[in-house]
Amino acid sequence: MYILGIGCYYHDSSAALLKDGKIVAAAQEERFSRKKHDTSFPINSIKYCLKSQNITIKDIKYIGFYEKPFLKFERVLSQHLQMFPLSFKTFLSSMPSWINEKLRVVRRIKKELKYKGDIFFIEHHLSHAAGSFLISPFEKAAILTIDGVGEWATTTYGIGKGNNINLTNEIRFPNSIGLVYSAITAYLGFSVNNSEYKVMGLSSYGNMNKDTNEYYKRLKKVIYLKEDGSYKSDMDYFIYHYANKMPSKKLCKLLDGPIRNPNEEITKRHKDIAAALQLLTEEVITKILNYMHKTIKCDNLILSGGVALNSVYNGKILRNTPFKRIWIQPDPGDGGTSIGAASYIYHSILRNKRNFILKDAYLGPEYSTKEIKNFLGKNNIKYSEFKNERELLEKTAKLIYENRVVGWFQGRMEWGPRALGARSILSNPCNHKMKEILNLKVKHREKFRPFAPVVCEDDALKYFDCDIPIPEPTDFMLMVYPIKKKWHKIIPAVTHIDGSGRLQTIKKSQNHLYYNLIKQFGKLSGIPILINTSFNIRGEPIVCTPNDAYKCMMGTGIDYLVINKFLIKREDNPKDKWDSERYAND
């Protein structure tokens, strides 16, 4: 039985396909449309899902949609009714999409896909919860979902047992720690629903001491926090319930200045505000988790929703709360809800036993050797071919060791916002200049942002102060841990200002080629760690096809592309060079 899950029309549209309860394909629409955080109907992702199994829409038994659109519309309408006449501008800008798309989901699905079967609508936070719990290794777990907002809920918690999920409590809009995080992100001059992770990275540069960070004390005024972790936002500081902007004038006054212009220099004040926000967020979630553990009495924790992408905090959870194990799916944000909607139908509504644990994130499209060879030949691209896997590993590791920047395109594309060794840019973490080289040649991103390390799981504890046993979400680059002090100077390119690293651990069973490459690099350098950053042009989604990968290499300063068993050198193909920075938009 095939079940298709769909999530769209807010941000990060996606589709996921289940076959007898097992996820066989999943991808975000942005990878195909090349629009970052694409919100549109995920027609390309759906086509990919169907093609991957050689099936048609007639083979789909059920479709699950990731929220209840009318409930969400009720909330939107309530905002306009409450805030009349201040909400006039947002009413004009948001209503056309509600009328043309969001309230016509059934019509769109049936028309676009020519689908005649049943469509189920699963509440937004239930989709988040199901998307993590039902594919986790836990038979029983406490579940916490936190995001900006779903229909009405912004934070929920409950319990998952077998194939049942019961979300028992919620915090409702406009109170939302996710929206507070986004509002301060906007205040700091970064884009909402896109750059929250930048604020998280910036926080390490600020004052992380609660006693001495003045802005932490001030930000405490915007959230009333109870001992049980429940909270409410002081809406005098925000205008997101009726305007397109998020911070109010009162918030600007509280934080000593106007909203930062994106081109403005980042000062100590901005860094301290980012740190204060991170401290406040951690305090709220810690209180919720402690309370949950007390009431639910279960040591396993499932975390979901966009806030679960806060890897800095994720790495502290097991140390700061009584929970013993944690699991987060590779895409806990809205992108992941398509998996949740489909899984909930199969396991909870149809009451089928759970039979699947997500062990790796390789759920996207892949391209055969023949397809890639055809692409290279058709475009007159100069390349060489590795004789065997050994040569591929030795030569690639050597290139990285010699400080070359290598594009790595192998197998099925990753599911979720992180590059995990299928569509990655790899380089040498031991070179203290590598951060600058990567920024100059390829990424062109803010100087304060760290690069992430990837390490084989069996080596992780030697270099990182991880929880023991190492939590599975590190496989999906969702936990930040301190790097052991003696290695700070050995791997400077992946050591953040506070001595931490957002590591990815990799097991041989997940991706043997990637695993062996890291080991091979270890043989050359003595350090089995690589820099792993996403394979994309600034402002664009991660590459999906061989054409995307080649275009990215030729538009940036990536030196080599290792694609399947082929090696392409940028310098050998001067005819295709271009400057991606001229078109970058982030």
Which residues contribute to the site for other proteins (CB under 8 A)? 68-71, 74, 77-85, 88, 91-92, 95-96, 105-106, 118-123, 125-126, 153, 156, 158, 164-175, 224, 226, 228, 230-232, 235, 241, 345, 348-349
Place of tokens 């043989």: 523
For other proteins, give the closer residue by CB, 8 or 105.
105
For other proteins, give the closer residue by CB, 81 or 468.
81
For other proteins, give the closer residue by CB, 106 or 252.
106
For other proteins, give the closer residue by CB, 237 or 464.
237
Distance (Å, rounded) from C-alpha 141 to C-alpha 124? 19
For other proteins, give the closer residue by CB, 85 or 574.
85
CA-based nearest residue to 477, from 360, 561, 586 = 360
Query: Helices 369-378 and 546-555 meet at what angle, rounded to 10?
Result: 50
CA atoms within 13 A on the CB side of 246: 21
Q: Tell me the three state secondary structure of residue 505.
A: strand
For other proteins, give the closer residue by CB, 120 or 383.
120
Phi first, then psi, for residue 102 (nearest 5°) are -65, -30
**Which tokens in the block code for residue 115?**
């689908």
Distance (Å, rounded) from C-alpha 240 to C-alpha 147? 15
Distance (Å, rounded) from C-alpha 523 to C-alpha 526? 6
Q: How far is the CB of 226 from other proteins (least distance, A)?
A: 6
How far CA 332 is from CA of 41, 71, 189, 359, 382, in Å, comes to 20, 22, 25, 15, 40
Q: Are 466 and 560 in contact (CB under 8 A)?
A: no
Q: How far is the CB of 223 from other proteins (least distance, A)?
A: 10
How far CA 35 is from CA of 96, 250, 294, in Å, comes to 21, 34, 43
**Residue 109 amino acid letter:** I
Phi first, then psi, for residue 540 (nearest 5°) are -110, 160
Q: Are 498 and 401 in contact (CB under 8 A)?
A: no
Q: How far is the CB of 104 from other proteins (least distance, A)?
A: 10
Place of tokens 């007390």: 294
Q: How far is the CB of 489 from other proteins (least distance, A)?
A: 47
Q: How far is the CB of 88 from other proteins (least distance, A)?
A: 6
Q: How far is the CB of 173 from other proteins (least distance, A)?
A: 7
Distance (Å, rounded) from C-alpha 386 to C-alpha 164? 50
Diameter of the chain measured on Cα atoms: 70
Q: How far is the CB of 291 from other proteins (least distance, A)?
A: 9
**Which tokens in the block code for residue 334?**
């809205």
For other proteins, give the closer residue by CB, 84 or 583.
84
For other proteins, give the closer residue by CB, 53 or 78.
78
Q: How far is the CB of 298 from other proteins (least distance, A)?
A: 16
Distance from the Cα of residue 212 to its chain's centroid: 32
For other proteins, give the closer residue by CB, 181 or 344.
344
Q: How far is the CB of 349 from other proteins (least distance, A)?
A: 6
Per 3-state DSSP, the chain is made up of helix, strand and coil in percentages (nearest 5) of 40, 20, 40
Distance (Å, rounded) from C-alpha 67 to C-alpha 131? 13
Distance (Å, rounded) from C-alpha 25 to C-alpha 112? 20
Q: Are 543 and 549 in contact (CB under 8 A)?
A: yes
Q: Are 127 and 286 in contact (CB under 8 A)?
A: no
CA-based nearest residue to 341, from 88, 58, 132 = 132
Counting runs of H as helices and runs of E as strands, what totals does the chain give? 20, 22
How far CA 318 is from CA of 31, 322, 327, in Å, comes to 33, 7, 11
For other proteins, give the closer residue by CB, 231 or 375.
231
**Which tokens in the block code for residue 502?**
């957002």
For other proteins, give the closer residue by CB, 171 or 466.
171
How far CA 219 is from CA of 261, 272, 467, in Å, comes to 21, 11, 30
Q: How far is the CB of 97 from other proteins (least distance, A)?
A: 11
For other proteins, give the closer residue by CB, 227 or 265.
227
Q: How far is the CB of 414 from other proteins (least distance, A)?
A: 30
Helices (H), 528-577: 546-555
Q: How far is the CB of 169 from other proteins (least distance, A)?
A: 4
For other proteins, give the closer residue by CB, 232 or 395.
232
Q: How far is the CB of 131 from other proteins (least distance, A)?
A: 15
**Which tokens in the block code for residue 401?**
């060791």
For other proteins, give the closer residue by CB, 160 or 450.
160
Q: How far is the CB of 286 from other proteins (least distance, A)?
A: 16
For other proteins, give the closer residue by CB, 68 or 271.
68
Q: How far is the CB of 521 from other proteins (least distance, A)?
A: 47
